[in-house]
Amino acid sequence: MGRLDGKVAHVTGAASGIGEACVQRFAAEGAIVYGTDIAEPTDFAGHDFSSLDVTDEAAQMAQGARIAEKQGRVDIVVTAAGIAAGGPIHTLSVADWQRCQDINLTGTMVSIKAVLPAMLAQRSGSIITVASVEGLEGCEGGSTYNASKGGVVLLTKNVACDYGPSGIRANAICPGFIDTPMLRDTLVDGSDFKNAIIGQHKLRRFGESHEIASAALFLGSDDASFVTGVALPVDGGYNAGHAYGLGEAFGQM
C-alpha cells in the first residue's frame, strides 16, 4: 500500500529535475499523476503530460479544471517549474528581472490558483511550492532569483492562512543546491565557485532530486496532516549557519 494511494497529484516543471523526481516518487506511492512543462519529458510513460507555460493563466486554469473533471478531485499540487537568473541589479535589465518573477513567482501563484476550485469544493488538499534556501537568505549575485523565491515563501504562508479553514494545507520546500540540469548548466565543474557552494552545505555535497521528492511525498501525504505554513529547508545544512573550516583547522574533523 502506497502513502498516496488514491490521491490525484499535479506537478509543474515535470519534465526534469525536482519535478520529474516528484512524478516518479508520487506514482510509486500510488498517486495518479498529471504533469506539465514547456519542455518535453524524456520518459512520461503511464502518466498524463501536457505542454504548458506556467505563466499562461488560461491554460493553467483549463488544466486544473480538466484534472478535476476527469478524476473528480485534485489532492496535491507541486509547483516545481522555475528558472535560474541573477546578477547584481545594476547589470540587470527590467525585462530579465521580470521574466524571472513571472515564471518563478507569478507562475507559482497561477499554478496554485488553478487547483483551488477543486480543493475548495472537496475541502482538502496539499499545496507544495518549491522555493529555495535562497528565498530564506541572500547570496552574492542572487538578486532576481532570490527575490522570486522569497516571494514564493511568503506567498505560501499566506495561502496557508487563507485556505487553512477550508482544510487546505500549503507548505514550501526550500532546497539547497540540487544536482539538476539547471544547476549543471549554471556551474562549471571544478571551479572555485562550485567548490565554495559545496563547502557551505554541511554534508559537503549537492543534494539529489529524489531527496526533495521525499520531502514532497511527506508534505503531500496524510503523515503531514497537521503541517501547514512551513518553509522547510532540505539543504544538507546550508541554512544551519556559516562554516569556515575552523573545525578542520582545530583537528575536530
Number of Cα atoms under 13 Å in the Cβ half of residue 156: 32
Output phi, psi for 29, to 5 deg: -95, 15
Describe the chain by its helix, strand, coil percentages, rounded to 5. 50, 15, 35
Which residue is catalytic, options 34, 145, 163, 238? 145
In 22-161, beta strands by DSSP E: 32-37, 48-51, 76-79, 125-130
Tell me, yes or no, if 145 is annotated catalytic: yes
Q: What are the grid coordinates assigned to 190, written together?
A: 571544478
CB atoms within 10 A of CB 124: 16
Q: Can you name the residues that pair with 234 across neighbouring β-strands?
A: 175
Three-class SS of residue 138? Answer: coil
- Catalytic machinery residues: 145
